[in-house]
Structure 1
Amino acid sequence: MVRFVNHLAVGFAAVKEVTGNMLGDKKVTVVFVLGGPGSGKGTQCANIVEHFGFTHLSAGDLLRAEIKSGSENGTMIESMIKEGKIVPSEVTIKLLQEAIITSANDKFLIDGFPRNKENRAAFENVTNISPAFVLFFDCSEEEMEKRLLGRNQGRVDDNIETIRKRFKVFIESSLPVIEYYNGKAKVKKIDAAKPIPEVFEDVKAIFAPYAPNAA
């Protein structure tokens, strides 16, 4: 565990064709991306979408849209985010499932989920997805904090107190997910502290098989 605590930003991507009952007859390719707060996964997702034709589904964006809808779930989600807590799996899985079903695309980049062991188990049980590999973004807490405080997006979770709560939740909940996949030899680590273009060069090497002109 110590070797991971010193590198708090984590990201993973898992690729798998889905053919289960969740989507009926629709066959899709799903890539999960998970990273510590401020690790740059949103930026890299945008690059992957542009170069490899995936539809980007951000678990965080879907949750924030639910908050804006004023629903009962939205009120609960807002309260949990302010406390730096993780939203129940069934809520996020339902939002992701609806987004996949209603999209015309068949390649999806999902970031921000799963974030803990229970998330992972629930998603695998519902979708029958077993990750093909894990993309691990490595970045220091100091760098992530600097990025979050500098982006000034006006989000409820972009203040120093909540940011540090999110770091704590990340260490306690998400690192075991990385350890689980590391035990299966499915982790590929990328240095997320490097400049964005350099990080994407590493990402492109992983996603090369999904390029439009790939055989």
Structure 2
Amino acid sequence: MYSRTVRVTPLARFARSRNLARVRFASGRPSPPSPSQGKILAALGLLAIGTTIVASVYNKSHPMPMVEPAKNPAAFNKEAASGKPLKKPTFSPDEVTVVFVLGGPGSGKGTQCAKLVAEKGFVHLSAGDLLRAEQKREGSKYGGLIAECIREGTIVPQEVTVALLEQAITEEHKKGNSRFLVDGFPRKMDQALVFEEQIVPSAFTLFFECPEQVMLDRLLQRGKTSGRTDDNIDSIRKRFRTFVDTSMPVVDYFDKKGKVVKLSCDQPIDSVYGEVKAALEKKGVV
């Protein structure tokens, strides 16, 4: 059942509180009101009726919001107080395997992911590519925000990135795909926690270690042909700082849980790929 709060206006309360409507009793019998009292009583009666009608009309046109009571408040409070997620992840680790792929800008993550897709049948989901596609999508409410974050080298709010990844994984899973390389994500702790609580716990993280100067040279070279707005010296240095400040804590977090495989990228592509394949085989995902 829903209840509605009835508003009583000050004028109605005034009319109800007046003692002029009372008639004094004398000798056990009420005395009739004088003509002047009768006029006052009549006026107040009309005023009370009018304010009641106005309040009724107002309440009908401005209904109070109705809140349905919780079906089991005790259970909800117990679950919320436990700090555990109130919603089960969309997928279980038995349904999909997600490998996070992290590394500084220009570390070669995308190149290694492309080789795994071609040879091992993984689905490669680049958080950056998804965001750029969303930025260009006509009518996107996030387009301007994403463009600004890319230009400034800052991180897009996790709600946007997680939603795009969940949509992409769901669509691929419907096609029968179950193994995913999530490239360039999570870049912050809140992203990592929300993804694993809402979508699926990750299997482990591939972390590509590479000297900053090597990454800088690679990105400047790529910028000559990529057409990407963030492949310029200012944006690159901002991205380096952002990665160290916000993404390395994510690597450390998973490393303490024994869920990080570190790979040196300061070597030829095929050498790095050999180490990647060996790591995946050891983890039992290829």
For normalisation by structure 1, the TM-score amounts to 0.83
Of 140, 158, 162, which residue of structure 2 is paired with 1:89? Answer: 158
Stretches of structure 2 lacking an aligned partner (at least 5 in a row): 1-87
Q: Give the equivalent residue in structure 1 for 2:100.
A: 32
Q: Give 1:21 shift.
A: 4.7
Q: 1:174 to 1:21 in 2, by over 3 A?
A: closer
| CA distance in structure 2 between the partners assigned to 1:163 and 1:183 by the alignment | 29
Stretches of structure 1 lacking an aligned partner (at least 5 in a row): 1-19
Q: Check the 8 A contact 2:134/2:143 in 1, yes or no.
A: yes
Structural mapping, 1:135-150, within 5 Å? 135-150=206-221
Q: Give the equivalent residue in structure 1 for 2:190.
A: 118
Q: Give the equivalent residue in structure 2 for 1:12.
A: none
| CA distance in structure 1 between the partners assigned to 2:97 and 2:187 by the alignment | 20
Of 199, 206, 210, which residue of structure 1 is paired with 2:285? Answer: 210
Q: Give the equivalent residue in structure 2 for 1:15.
A: none
Q: Check the 8 A contact 1:120/1:177 in 2, yes or no.
A: yes
Secondary structure at the counterpart of residue 142 of structure 2: helix
Q: Give the equivalent residue in structure 2 for 1:78.
A: 147
Q: How many residues are matched?
A: 190
Q: Give the equivalent residue in structure 2 for 1:17.
A: none
| CA distance in structure 1 between the partners assigned to 2:179 and 2:205 by the alignment | 17
Structural mapping, 1:22-61, within 5 Å? 22-23=90-91, 27-61=95-129
The amino acid that maps onto 2:242 is V
Q: Give the equivalent residue in structure 1 for 2:57.
A: none
The amino acid that maps onto 1:30 is V
| CA distance in structure 2 between the partners assigned to 1:132 and 1:42 by the alignment | 19
Structural mapping, 1:183-194, within 5 Å? 183-194=256-267
The amino acid that maps onto 1:113 is F
Q: Give 1:137 shift.
A: 1.2
- 1:84-130 deviation digits (Å, cap 9, x = unpaired): 1000111011111111111211221111110011111111221241x
Output the aligned Cα RMSD.
1.7
- Identity between Structure 1 and Structure 2 (%): 52
Q: Check the 8 A contact 1:23/1:101 in 2, yes or no.
A: no
Bigger-Rg structure (1/2) = 2
Q: Check the 8 A contact 1:139/1:191 in 2, yes or no.
A: yes
Q: Give the equivalent residue in structure 1 for 2:168.
A: 99
Does residue 196 (structure 1) correspond to residue 269 (structure 2)? The answer is yes
The amino acid that maps onto 1:33 is V
| CA distance in structure 2 between the partners assigned to 1:81 and 1:137 by the alignment | 22
Secondary structure at the counterpart of residue 31 of structure 1: strand
Greater length-normalized contact order (CA 8 Å, ≥ 6 residues apart): 1
| CA distance in structure 1 between the partners assigned to 2:263 and 2:232 by the alignment | 27
Q: Check the 8 A contact 2:97/2:203 in 1, yes or no.
A: no
Q: Check the 8 A contact 2:98/2:203 in 1, yes or no.
A: no
The amino acid that maps onto 1:83 is E
Q: Check the 8 A contact 2:89/2:200 in 1, yes or no.
A: no
